[in-house]
Amino acid sequence: MLTNPLSAVRTNLAWLQPICLVAMLGGLLFACAFAVAAKPVERRTVSLDGTWQIAEGSASNRPTVFDHTVPVPGLVDMAQPPFVKPGPKVAKRQPGPQKDPLRDAFWYRRTFTVEGTVPEVATLKIGKAMFGTRVMLNGQLLGDHAPCFTPGFFDAKAALKTGQNELLIRVGADRDAVTAAVPTGFDFEKERYIPGIFDSVELILSGTPPIENVQVAPDITNRQAKIRVYLDGAKATPVEIEIREAKSGRLAGRVSAQVDVGVKELDAVVPVKNCRLWSPEDPFLYQVTARTSGDEFVSCFGMREFYFDLVTHRAMLNGKPYFMRGSNITLYRFFEDSERGALPWNDVWVRKLHRRVKDMHWNCLRYCIGFPPEAWYRIADEEGILLQDEFPIWFGPAIQNWPKELKAAELVKEYGEWLRERWNHPSVVVWDASNETTSDQTAPAIQQVRQLDRSGRPWDNSYMPQLEAGDVFETHPYHFMDAEFKPAGLAAANPIPQDQGHHNDGTHAVIINEYGWLWLNRNGTPTTLTAELYANNLGSNASPQQRFSMQATWLAADTEFWRAHRQAAAVMHFTTLGYSRADGQTSDHWQVHGVAGLEWESEFYHYVRDAFAPVGLMVDFWKEQVVAQAAEHVSVILINDLEPAWSGTITLTLEKSGTAAPVMQFKQIGSVKSFGLATNEFDFVWPQLTGQYTLEAEIRGIDGRPVRSVRTVAVKASQPSVPIK
């Protein structure tokens, strides 16, 4: 297998000369094939992305007319002219089958030209395609690849020819095309499963012996990289391994060796000169190049180590505690959002999205129930975001039972393809086998593939037992799932994260990657899961602004609760990117018709951003009502996720609704140690005037901006005493 992530954007393609063709197919004027000047010695990765022809039809017979075009990568609903109801809505979201009544398959077609001699090795890579892939080159079947979320590699040598080549790729029109024996991204919130080639297509050309893959395992203690080069073993070859700084190109290390025939794995250790570690705060990248006498493989990586401490259960990044603050991206749900368009394949938009994430004080994401295109991982590497990478599986008794046809053997195949594609990305720090799933098939699959990752990343086995000491416990403690729950309930809430039927026994690190249950659609209307909650607290006639305010302040309080109790290695909000529709269950936080510009809903940004500040605070006060002129004791907890200690002024302010000036204000100096917590106490007397008040604590964060924690309190009149007779 040849795996070359990132090479398409790193390879010099000066030798690639565009040629225009004109072909009349069913009355369609179609242009732009490529001329590929094949070189027999050095690898060339040729992008076949762009505008393809596409037609619908049966799974067994290729169409005779291709009268639509479609972008690759993309989805078939982007075709022009549009197809009728591609990826139709499912009749019922819980059952598994989903048959498209109008067609069995979509067929993609394009041509390209090879000039000169066909090289010794030619491999076609299809990054990701739903649902199931069959490839034909010049009328010859190259093979099938059923998995929908991992790359397919096809030996094109025998079929590739000098001159014009015709490439056909068939994908199933629906999930039924690959049957229940293959994961298809089932998600009961989804209404549509839209097929398509949704990641890049590349032609990889080289001489022999080819390099099948390269894996880098950073050793930061010794400032060196442990590198394994995967070969086909067909013949002896010299191998050179070179490490350079990705941006400057400066040489950081080089070794060479001679490999005998039959050797399929070469292990080498390369010292890294002036080694600079990768982290979200400093996402410094290196580039490794491995060369044989006939091939060259290039990949980027970061010098970083990540694990969960077996005693403290903290995340450890480069040998130091690292508090993970973050969110989720549910891209496959966004695939059916009305504002999606071509945004997921727009590098500028995707980079801006990840920068919006960083601006929220988030340093991590879960790519939830679905892998995005590989460009997203490159961008996460470059922008500096830790990723919990979740395989698109979600089965459980409350959703849909695990399909009896889906066995561990299939997961071993797909998990292996997944790890080989991602193992050099410094952003990927946790392999997540599934979402909220119970099954006896994932554990044996995990145990068979985990040794492939020489960096030893931890695994998340969802709602099944953890398999090794360094693995993680995933929990989704949704306080507001109970429509009667209010922030006042946090005073008595269990600070140790739990899920019903999913017990945290305290022996593993905990990742809270969902919590809250406060979703609103982008227009401020409740979702189907939150309608009762908002009606109970605001009434049925509340305005969108009132609901947005409640959502933001309650979510901020819930965030502070989980962060301040320090029982989780990661606190990750749900969700940054999803869908927004009237009958939806969850949603995200973008302004109405604002996804393209990535502008946050203002209340969410104002309150929830502060709740995730690396040096933050929590007003540990949860009463909804107090009595006028009663003495009060309020604790303010300081939270420090960073190594430097912090000290500064804590300001506690009480303001009455409708008034401009504070009713009371108190200040004291506070401090908090490295990676620590500290509690400051305030004592005062509630005012005599009844009404609604806002209690707000504030510090200045590390960026100099205010960081606030807010509570709303009703001051009630004291009950008159009853005279004794």
HSE of 515, CA atoms in CB hemisphere, 13 A: 28
Q: Which fold has domain 617-716?
A: Immunoglobulin-like (2.60.40)
Per-residue confidence (pLDDT) for residue 708, from 0 to 100: 98
Listed residue (269, 254, 251, 207) closest to 232, CA to CA: 207
Q: Which CATH architecture has domain 307-612?
A: Alpha-Beta Barrel (3.20)
Give pLDDT, residue 676. Answer: 97
CB-based contact 30:48 (threshold 8 Å):
no
How far is the CA of 656 from the CAs of 68, 537, 607, 629, 713, in angstroms? 63, 20, 19, 15, 10
pLDDT tens by residue, 645-656: 999 999 999 999
> Averaged over 5-31, what is the pLDDT?
30
How many other C-beta atoms can be found within 10 angstroms of the C-beta atom of residue 88?
Answer: 18
Res. 576: pLDDT tops 60? yes
Per-residue pLDDT tens over the stretch 537-556? 999 999 999 999 999 999 99
Question: What pTM was computed for the model?
Answer: 0.93
**What residues contact residue 168 under an 8 Å CB cut-off, 6+ apart?**
62, 107, 108, 109, 135, 136, 137
Residue type, 193: Y
Would the CATH topology of 211-304 be identical to that of 617-716? Answer: yes
Q: The dihedral of CA 496, 500, 502, 503: what is its sign?
A: positive
15 — pLDDT class (breaks 50, 70, 90)? very low
Task: Supply the pLDDT for residue 720.
Answer: 58
pLDDT tens sequence across 451-468? 999 999 999 999 999 999
Upper half-sphere CA count for residue 492 (Cβ side, 13 Å):
5
Q: What pLDDT, on a 0 to 100 scale, did the predictor assign at position 368?
A: 98
Q: Give the C-alpha distances (Å, rounded to integers) separating 186 from 133, 522, 707.
A: 18, 24, 40
User: For residue 41, what pLDDT is reported?
Assistant: 54
Rounded to an integer, the average pLDDT of 611-618 is 98
Residue with tokens 């209404």: 191
The separation between CA 235 and the C-alpha centre of its own chain, rounded to angstroms, equals 40
CATH of domain 7-206: 2.60.120.260
Asked which of 86-95, 306-315, 497-506, 677-686 is least confident by mean pLDDT, the reply is 497-506
Interval 301-344: pLDDT, tens: 999 999 999 999 999 999 999 999 999 999 999 999 999 999 99
Determine which of 114-118, 596-600, 710-714 has the lowest per-residue pLDDT on average.
Answer: 114-118
pLDDT band, residue 722 (cuts 50/70/90):
low
| Cis bond before residue 81 (omega within 30° of 0) | yes
Strands 706-716 and 625-627: parallel
Report the pLDDT value the prediction gives residue 26, as an integer from 0 to 100. 32
Counting every residue written for the chain, the total comes to 725
For 69, other C-beta atoms within 10 Å of its C-beta total: 18
Nearest Cα to 418, choosing from 408, 426, 428, 427?
A: 428
Q: Between 506 and 573, whose confidence is greater?
A: 573
Q: What's the pLDDT score for residue 7?
A: 32
**Residue 203 amino acid letter:** L
Q: Count H helices, E strands: the chain? A: 9, 42
Q: Write down the domain spans for the chain.
A: 7-206, 211-304, 307-612, 617-716
Q: What mean pLDDT is predicted for residues 201-206?
A: 96
Residue 661 pLDDT class (50, 70, 90 cuts): confident
User: What tens digit of pLDDT does each residue of 221-235 get?
Assistant: 999 999 999 999 999
pLDDT, tens digit (0-9, with 9 covering 90-100), for 44-99 = 999 999 999 999 999 999 999 999 999 999 999 999 999 999 999 998 887 667 89
**Mean per-residue pLDDT of the chain:** 92
Q: pLDDT per residue over 121-179, tens digit each?
A: 999 999 999 999 999 999 999 999 999 999 999 999 999 999 999 999 999 999 999 99
pLDDT of residue 146: 98
**pLDDT score, position 500:** 64
Of 432, 436, 562, 554, the residue nearest 493 (C-alpha): 562
279-283, 502-506, 530-534, 596-600: least confident range = 502-506
* CATH 2.60.40.10 corresponds to the domain 211-304: yes
- pLDDT band of residue 39 (cuts 50, 70, 90) is very low
Q: Which helix (H) or strand (E) holds 475?
A: strand 472-475
Question: Which pLDDT band, with edges at 50, 70 and 90, does 36 fall under?
Answer: very low
Confidence of residue 571 (pLDDT cuts 50, 70, 90): very high
Looking at residue 496, its pLDDT comes to 92
Average pLDDT over residues 397-413: 92
Integer Cα distance of 244 and 361 in angstroms: 31
Report CA Rg, the chain: 28
